[in-house]
């Protein structure tokens, strides 16, 4: 590879986790290999110091609970980027939706959405995972957790709970950011950040600014981005800035949702995925109903932290469920998770799940380079990430 900093891309199709070599300068991917997990990949997180990738797996899916769930430790071969199963997978109590590793690399934290839950697993000296640690006190885990992150201080963790829209005569479930004290794998409840009591508040993911006390939150159910001030042990109760995520916010489509969010390594920009997956009947087939599948690009005001929208760029696919930025900040890769048919005039064409590459300019804006159809094993493209070797 031409870059001094070697990067691997990992992306799944069902139970298969593919490995691609990445040339950041040339913005290209080269297929290197794959590994098969016990059940389908849901999310994964690298160890911050050691060459391990921790993969949360389940035979469940959106709306399907499943009955087999686990988290596996994979050893990364630094010379090749290949993945190898490290010990036995650890059984989990339900379908995991997100996994993260704390800054010290001492513990992995796993979030579950149905029912909402959170577990902490010790990472042993050899990189293997322990079963879930018993927590000393009950935890308020909200409704429909979707992400867990340890705060930059290392002394607190945030569980992002989305809640649910009202449906079928059932009232809305409130959303919240559940903040916990975090010490040696033990969690203690500190606060619940829930503007307006969490009604009309549906957060999905958040990310932290690398140097400033700012945290950025995507609101899935409202198609908004919130910016909060952050403390060492928590988040202020109200956002300081609120902005729309959609290019045309007035033309809201069914199944139009905000998704993943990432701050650029420089701290100058923040990126958010908009996802649309609605379908309608056309000529006896289900085709895309319309909406936005794009990345919203925001410049961050260096003095205030305000996210200022500067671009929307189409992802060349459907449902960008995950995306990643390389550590040098020059390349952004989107994983378009859904294969879906779309109208092209009077005809219909099928667009498969794919990986789409964009160069990141000095101004933070994205320039499309290419897309690559991911090899399908019949499973969903649920997760993709870039890992430094």
Whole-number pLDDT of residue 344: 84
Nearest by Cα to 251 from 219, 271, 220, 223? 223
Which residues, other chains included, contact 148 with Cβ-Cβ below 8 Å and sequence gap of 6+? 98, 99, 100, 109, 110, 111, 118, 157, 158, 159, 160
- Which parts of the chain sit beneath pLDDT 50? 1-2
Whole-number pLDDT of residue 2: 45
289, 279 contact by CB (below 8 A)? yes
Q: DSSP letter string over 164-222? A: B--BTTBPPBPPEEEEEEEETTEEEEEEEE-GGGGTT--EEEEEE-SSSSEEEEEETTT
Residue 81 Cα distances to 4, 53, 58, 287, angstroms:
15, 11, 24, 38
Beta bridge partners of 207: 216
> What are the structure tokens assigned to 347, written together?
């005809």
Whole-number pLDDT of residue 221: 95
Q: What is the pTM of this model?
A: 0.96
Which helix (H) or strand (E) segment holds residue 130: the answer is strand 129-132
Sign (positive or negative) of CA dihedral 263, 176, 236, 195: positive
Euclidean distance between CA atoms 148 and 46, whole angstroms: 14
Residue 196 Cα distances to 130, 175, 228, angstroms:
39, 10, 15
Euclidean distance between CA atoms 6 and 22, whole angstroms: 8
Beta bridge partners of 41: 57
Domains belonging to the chain, first-starting first, are 37-199 (2.130.10.10), 202-375 (2.130.10.10)
Whole-number pLDDT of residue 4: 52
Which residues, other chains included, contact 371 with Cβ-Cβ below 8 Å and sequence gap of 6+? 316, 317, 336, 354, 355, 356, 357
Euclidean distance between CA atoms 272 and 206, whole angstroms: 10
Q: Is 59 left (phi over 0), alpha (psi -120 to 50) or beta?
A: alpha
Nearest by Cα to 382 from 153, 95, 24? 95
Terminal Cα-to-Cα distance of the chain (whole angstroms): 12
Length of the chain in residues, anyone? 389
Nearest by Cα to 104 from 37, 186, 47, 19? 47
User: pLDDT by residue (tens digit) across 67-76?
Assistant: 999 999 999 9
Extended beta strands in 237-317, E state: 241-244, 256-263, 269-276, 279-282, 285-288, 294-300, 307-314
User: pLDDT by residue (tens digit) across 131-165?
Assistant: 999 999 999 999 999 999 999 999 999 999 999 99
């Amino acid at each position: 590879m031409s870059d001094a900093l070697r990067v691997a891309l990992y992306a799944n199709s069902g139970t298969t986790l593919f490995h691609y070599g990445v040339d950041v300068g040339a913005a290209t991917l080269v297929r290197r290999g794959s590994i098969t997990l016990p059940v389908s990949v849901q999310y994964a997180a690298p160890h911050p110091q050691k060459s391990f990738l921790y993969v949360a797996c389940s035979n469940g899916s959106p709306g399907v609970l499943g009955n087999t769930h686990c988290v596996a430790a994979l050893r990364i071969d630094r010379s090749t980027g290949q993945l190898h199963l490290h010990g036995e997978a650890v059984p989990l109590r339900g379908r995991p939706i997100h996994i993260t590793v704390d800054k010290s690399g001492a513990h992995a934290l796993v979030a579950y959405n149905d029912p909402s839950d959170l577990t902490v697993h010790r990472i042993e000296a050899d990189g293997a995972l322990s079963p879930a640690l018993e927590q000393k006190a009950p935890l308020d885990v909200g409704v429909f957790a979707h992400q867990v992150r340890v705060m930059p201080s290392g002394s607190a963790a945030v569980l992002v709970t989305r809640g649910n829209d009202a449906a079928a005569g059932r009232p809305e479930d409130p959303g919240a950011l559940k903040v916990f004290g975090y010490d040696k794998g033990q969690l203690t409840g500190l606060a619940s950040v829930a503007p307006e009591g969490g009604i009309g508040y549906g957060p999905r993911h958040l990310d932290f600014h690398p140097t400033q006390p700012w945290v950025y939150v995507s609101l899935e159910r409202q198609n908004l981005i919130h910016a909060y001030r952050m403390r060492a042990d928590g988040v202020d109760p109200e956002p300081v800035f609120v902005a729309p995520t959609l290019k045309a916010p007035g033309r809201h489509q069914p199944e139009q949702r905000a998704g993943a969010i990432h701050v650029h390594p420089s701290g100058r920009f923040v990126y958010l995925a908009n996802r649309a997956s609605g379908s309608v009947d056309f000529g006896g087939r289900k085709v895309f109903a319309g909406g936005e599948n794009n990345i919203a690009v925001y410049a961050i005001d260096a003095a205030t932290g305000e996210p200022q929208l500067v671009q929307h760029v189409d992802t060349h696919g459907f449902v960008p469920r995950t995306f990643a930025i390389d550590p040098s900040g020059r390349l952004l890769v989107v994983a378009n998770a859904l294969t879906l048919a779309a109208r092209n005039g009077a005809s219909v064409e099928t667009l498969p799940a794919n990986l789409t590459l964009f160069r990141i300019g000095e101004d933070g804006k994205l320039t499309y380079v290419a897309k690559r159809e991911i090899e399908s094993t019949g499973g969903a493209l649920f997760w993709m990430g870039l890992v430094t070797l």
